[in-house]
Structure 1
Amino acid sequence: MDIVKVFGTNVKRYRQVLGISQEAFAEKCGLHRTYISAIECYRRSISLENIQRIADALEIETYRLFLKEEDKE
């Protein structure tokens, strides 16, 4: 499992479900838009602190960001 890809895919999917842009989401997280873009494009590994900030902004449990699509059911 490529954890960076799973994480980035989930961040993008949950963000899109909320219907907000990368810029608005980055502001909600207290991070930069290019940082969010790099996560969603699988170019960035991130700290545990930022993982929690993202989960909080998405209003989901942190572990959900690490589940592959087939594991979510």
Structure 2
Amino acid sequence: MSVNGRTNVDLDGATWLKAGDSPGSDSVEVALLADGHVGLRNGNDPDGHVLVFTPGEWAAFTAGVQDGEFDRP
């Protein structure tokens, strides 16, 4: 898989972990990939699309989560 048309990321052999806060049948899975990339997918559709984040993108996202940037009012 190509990320931003530049980096090839191999999803074969990735270890997918269910996110701890996935309620009921809603399932988000995360995998740590080569070169620090992070994959996210719908655990109910493991053969579906995968979002792949670069290390910088993932760091910005997790910092936003920790800062409450995505909290509902």
Same-fold status (TM-score > 0.5): no
**Structure ID, larger Rg:** 2
Larger RCO (alpha carbons 8 Å, 6+ apart): 1
TM-score for the superposition, normalised by structure 1: 0.29
